[in-house]
Structure 1
Amino acid sequence: MATGPDFFAHWERMAPVGADRASFAEFLSVLRRTPDLPDLWYEFARMLKAKGHYELALAAYEEALARGADRPEEIHLNRGVIFADHLRRETDAEAELKEAIAHNPDYAPAWLNLGNLREEVGDKSGAIECYNRILPPTDETEAPHIDCRHEALARLWQLVPPNSLADPFLGRLEAAARSKRLLPPETRANLFYALGRSLDALRAYDRAFAAYAEANRFARKAGPPYDRAAIVAEVDRLIEAFPTAARRGAGSDGAPEPVFICGMFRSGSTLVEQVLAAHPAVTAGGELNLLNRITEADLAPFPQSIRLLSDAKAERLAANYRRDLVRLFPASAAPGSIVTDKRPDNFLRIGLIKRLFPGAKIIHTVRHPVDTCLSVFFQHIDQTIVGYASDLADCGRYYSQYRRLMAHWKSVYSTDIFDFDYDRFVDEPRAQIQSLLEFLGLPWAERCLEFHTLKNPVKTASYWQVRRPLYRDSSGRRRHYEAHLGPLIGELESAGIEID
């Protein structure tokens, strides 16, 4: 295997630019002295992945494998995650996960990730097969990667939902959720979320709410304490940083501006993206982390740094964003193409979006406030991102600040923000799609009404919902849980938000 000067010169040429260049060079200098230690290459790969340099991380993992790293299945798993979650190369991801399983046929993390990948591409039977391979023992017997095995059990509820309250699967799910076995809090939370959804589907609403409450109790343990004042201060800073429309930059030399889909989590963003993905001119980008990386790596502290942002730097950041978009979605380089960036909390970055992309269109997804907050409470969302989600009163407080910020953005960028109303879409899909396409300057496409037939990967918690024909189950869901919604409704009403 190569370790000579040319080998390391090649790595030096691949060095990232910017703030990460120094740490890259430092690690590389250590590798020059001890190039044959696979664990060092493994740690190098982990560092590169954490900093968002995914292609470099893949190359470093490959060097670790070439040098005989222990537990090659773990490296193939990590490579599979990079391909699936960050590079959108599902075929390569599947190959890596299968390679991990070839090294260790009982490696539960690889089976779990392969099942999740198959769910994302709509392969229900394939996902069921993967999860069934690694289900936990029905007694207290220990097994390797017991947390992954319980995660597989939690995932199965949606693929083979219990058909009655007496269904043995429901009993097994509840027993696992309430067992004395030592499990990570996020795994315990997922078992209770799955139990809640199963009971909700069986219309046992009070029991479902109790399960969801337990799920959120464990979810809170998995994340940092929620700072209720932080969102108020953040909205204040954003309004101060972007008091008026951002001055228009030089544009994009004729390249189409990206389309951003944002709003509260669980407000229909995956649905609207899937509708647009059915249009021949649109590629669904999913929940991209590109803007978030810009604010953290290039504009910290954001938004205070905006007052110092020059046109030249703004154009460079916009060019970097477009470059990354083309890398992920080569079709986006074609004239007239549109790629959607669907990260719900980008509503916090609308001012930045308009500074970098003056012509950008914003699709703002809206839904009844109580249904939105209840759906957030019923879904396990990363507590480091959505710390308010595990408490209904906190959901209401956060929602009021979201509405305050959106009112500001609309006062500044009114013609570039389109409200896509989930509840109205359920009632009159054709009219809502027509208005949406007109906003984007796109011709009508009948196929947009058949969004549920698409075979594209969907990388959010809604991937099975958007593969169903339009349904009304989630619109008005709050009515089943009215007895439990006092804290949420109280917060919304105190903020002057209309409930009905």
Structure 2
Amino acid sequence: MTQDFSNQFQAIKQSLQTKNLTAAMEKISALKAVELPVALRIELLYLSAVTQRLANQFNQALQELDELLHLRPEHGRAYQEQAYNFLALNQQDKAASAFFRATHYNPALITSWKQLLKIYQQHQDTTAEQLALQHIAHLEQLPPPILGAYDLMYEKQLATAEKVCRQFLQQHKHHPEGMLLLAELGIQLKVYHDAEFLLESCVALYPDNLRAVIAYLGLLAKLGKHQRVVEISDEQLSAYPDNLQILMAKANALLGINRTEDAITIFTELLSADEDRPGVWLALGHAYKTTGNKQQAVEAYLKAAHYHQQFGDAYWSLANMKSYTFDGEALQDMADIEAQSSIGVEDRIHLCFALGKGFEDAGQFEKSFTYYEKGNRLKLISTGYDIARTEEAIAAQVEACRGDSFANMHGGFPSPEPIFIVGMPRAGSTLLEQILASHSDIDGTMELHNILSLASSVGAQLSESGKPYPYSLAELSAEQCYELGKQYIEQTRYYRGSAPFFIDKMPNNFMHVGFIKRILPNAKIIDARRDPMDCCFSNFKQLFGEGQEFSYGLEEVARYYQAYEKLMDHWDEILPGAVLRVQHEDVLDDLDGQVKRMLDYLGVPFEQACLDFHQTDRLIKTPSAEQVRQPINRKGQGRWQPFEAHLGPLLKRFRA
């Protein structure tokens, strides 16, 4: 916020504090004539709505809030403000719904919880009343600075929330609530190394704090440390044998280390105890899909939707089966659910992507794109992703990793075992993994987070120049590189079998090729490349489980693809011959030739099983799981063409 805008916003707030509504409205009207950044536009609409309500102009206030929520559908305080207006208009049901949404998007809004408590008591809903009482009790016992920081975090003011939290922890060094909040902020800011240290410390200091334990399990799972999740879950289950969150954390971690049957056993036991657990049905469906049991996966997803009709993830999981198609009646039912005003943003996003896929399968391309575009717009807003930051990170890699510096670097762990498949998502990497994992000398694993985690740990160390990773790469000693490479090999042992080589197909590792070659100089790296129109549009249509925020806008995904190409060109220049590029279309045209080319690069003999890859029975956990269990086909080529009229940002860059 510039100083001029800051002063004007502060003047509006002062006018509201002194109840000078006329002055507040005049200042708001003046700012409305200015073209403001989205974040400031949102704040102005909120202040305008508050002013209108205080002036008893309730319908005008609601109009302002509708515009605000279109810009940011997860604005908890906007829903609370909505509820106040509905109460003033004596629209009790709408007020209750708005208060509920307020607490959903901002659980720190204690006033909304107290309003909900009154409503639950009036309706004698004892279960909801107890839940509200628990939340109120928890919020009331929080130190005021921490409660305020939670409010800031939920309203996406992360930097201010972090500042408040750190100030509190300076005075109360090991306060569990402060540690928990700072860790959550670290996760949202993707400073995972710091967040992990905080949560590990919090659990060590306060072993009986279940919230800390569950938060720690969640972060470890996000970082791909599934074996550690299993170990901690087993420790905790001795004290809390029936805790649903810990049991689910363990089961999902078992999936992560390929103990699928053990995971399915936990899911089915939980459902035997209580069938009305849509989240467990969803997880069971994912487990069945991983093993290739399509029919059982579909049945589980349908059960999830049956027990929770607004459960968007259940519908998207069905759509994401690729071979599953919705009939006309199902599409209409889903469209009706998506149109309901009571549906949450995440569920709406999932439903939009499912409807986009459903109408695409039905050949109704205009309807399809409408839903794809809506789902992507909502998702991009919710992530707050800025492509410029990725472009800056890639420019930093180019600047920090120069040819002369890399030529004279030594050290690293000498293991030849890892094979990295990098590139864009939806570029054919799962197909390449399936082909190579069909070889008797190569184990397939999954998209491992270990390189990202190790790079993050190095990133926590400032370089001598005062700049963070990747500039600190040049300052790593041979011994440090050796230890980091050894760590990677040891950490990933859980995910592999006994073959002499294994695959790590985390696509985002393309950003860290320089780091990989410093710590694992003998590792092989394959760049999975696909036609940019097919690749970018496939990303735009895909709702990812986590990450890949760049994919939720045509402009964003196009710029990301170009930045990726730029960085891969740089790696080719400073590390000649280190990366083998495999074009997806070449694999489709000449499977035999490309398979032999890859095996020659890896230094392993040809095996017929690599050509018969679709017959290989293994666990696959990516959106392409079904496709790679089929022989080579061209179904994914040219899928963008029926949508060409809407794809200007892609056409401008890749077909001009």
Is TM more than 0.5 here? Answer: yes
- By how many angstroms is 1:193 displaced? 1.4
**Aligned equivalents of 1:324, 1:96: Cα separation in 2:** 25
Which residue in the other structure is 1:67 paired with? 239
Is residue 78 of structure 1 aligned with residue 249 of structure 2?
yes
The structure with higher relative contact order (CA 8 Å, sep 6+) is 1
2: CA distance between counterparts of 1:236 and 1:487?
Answer: 22
1: CA distance, partners of 2:623 / 2:322: 13
Deviation at 1:199, TM superposition (A): 2.2
Partners of 1:26 and 1:196 lie apart in 2 by: 43
How many Å apart are 1:212 and its aligned residue?
1.0
**Which amino acid in the other structure matches residue 284 of structure 1?**
G
Tell me by how many angstroms 1:330 deviates: 4.0
Structure 2 CA distance for partners of 1:150 and 1:232, relative to 1, 3 Å: closer
Match of 2:377 among 195, 214, 217: 217
Post-superposition shift, 1:222?
3.0
| Corresponding residue to 2:517 among 320, 330, 354 | 354
Aligned 8 A contact 2:412 2:485 in 1:
no
CA–CA separation in structure 2 for the residues paired with 1:23 and 1:479: 48
Tell me how far 1:270 sits from its aligned partner. 0.9
Runs of at least 5 residues in structure 2 that lack an aligned partner in the other structure: 1-192, 461-467
Q: How far 1:125 sits from its partner (Å)?
A: 1.6
- Listed as ranges, the matches of 1:235-274 within 5 Å are 235-244=394-403, 245=406, 247-250=408-411, 252=413, 255-274=415-434
Please show how residues 222-237 of structure 1 align to structure 2 within 5 Å.
222-223=382-383, 225-237=384-396
1:27 Cα offset (Å): 3.3
**2:203 aligned with 1:27, yes or no?**
yes
Unmatched segments (≥5 aa) in structure 1: 1-17, 32-36, 137-142, 494-498
Mapped to 2, the partners of 1:238 and 1:22 lie a distance apart of 28
In 1, Cα distance between equivalents of 2:280 and 2:639: 36
* 1:112 paired residue among 282, 286, 294: 282
Instruction: Describe the SS at the equivalent of 2:459.
Output: coil
Q: How far is the alpha carbon of 1:160 from its aligned partner? A: 6.6
Write the distance in 1 (CA, Å) between the matches of 2:622 and 2:323. Answer: 19
TM alignment of 1:286-365, pairs within 5 A: 286-300=446-460, 301-332=468-499, 337-365=500-528
2: CA distance between counterparts of 1:369 and 1:478?
Answer: 11
Residues 59 and 362 of structure 1: is their aligned pair in 2 closer, same or farther, counting only changes over 3 Å? closer
Q: How do 1:453-492 and structure 2 match up within 5 A?
A: 453-490=615-652, 492=653
In the alignment, structure 1 residue 390 sits paired with structure 2 residue 552? yes
Once the two structures are superposed, the pairs formed by residues 141-156 of structure 1 within 5 Å of their partners are 149-156=311-318
CA distance in 1, matches of 2:554, 2:480: 41
Over 3 Å counting, the alpha-carbon distance change for 1:341 and 1:247 in structure 2 is: farther
* Other-structure match for 1:89: 259
Q: Which amino acid aligns with 1:349?
A: H
Contact 1:45 1:61 in 2 (8 A): no
Distance 2:538 2:387 in 1: 20
Q: Distance in 2 between matches of 1:404 and 1:150?
A: 37
The alpha-carbon distance between structure 1 residues 484 and 275, as it changes in their structure 2 partners (threshold 3 A), is same
Larger radius of gyration: 2
Give the root-mean-square deviation of aligned CA atoms.
2.5
Alpha-carbon displacement from aligned partner over 1:322-344 (angstroms, at most 9, x marks no partner)? 01122322425xxxx21111011
The 8 Å contact of residues 262 and 346 in structure 1, kept in 2 or not, is answered as yes
C-alpha spacing 1:161/1:175, structure 2 compared with 1 (3 Å): farther
The partner residue of 2:532 within 369, 373, 379 is 369
Name the amino acid aligned to 1:47: Y
Which amino acid in 1 is paired with 2:591?
A: P
TM-fit CA distance, 1:128: 1.9
SS in 2 for 1:162: coil
Distance change >3 Å, CA 373–CA 450, structure 1 → 2: same
* Structure having the larger proportion of residues in helix: 2
Q: Distance in 2 between matches of 1:263 and 1:356?
A: 20
Find the residue that maps to 2:610 and give its secondary structure: helix
**CA contact 1:258–1:341 (8 Å) conserved in 2:** yes
Tell me how far apart the structure 2 counterparts of residues 125 and 447 of structure 1 sit (CA, whole Å): 26
1:133 aligned partner: 303
| Contact 2:410–2:478, Cα closer than 8 Å, also in 1 | yes
Assess, with a 3 A threshold, how the Cα gap between structure 1 residues 377 and 49 changes in structure 2: closer, same or farther: closer
Distance in 1 between the 2:322 and 2:601 partners?
36
Which moved further from structure 2: 463-472 or 116-125?
463-472
Measured in 2, the distance between the counterparts of 1:418 and 1:182 equals 46
Aligned residues: percent identity? 27
* 3-state DSSP of counterpart to 1:262: strand
For the residue of structure 2 that corresponds to 1:339, the secondary structure is strand
1:284, distance to aligned residue in structure 2 (A): 0.9
Q: Which amino acid aligns with 1:172?
A: D
Q: Which amino acid aligns with 1:58?
A: V
Change (3 A) 1:66 1:261: same
Q: Secondary structure at the match of 2:325?
A: coil
Aligned to 1:417: 579
1:46 equivalent among 208, 211, 215: 215
- The Cα of 1:241 is off from its aligned counterpart by 1.4
Q: Is the 8 A contact 1:41 1:64 kept in 2?
A: no
Question: What is the rounded CA distance, in whole Å, between the counterparts of 2:331 and 2:398 in structure 1?
Answer: 48
Letter in 2 for 1:125: Q
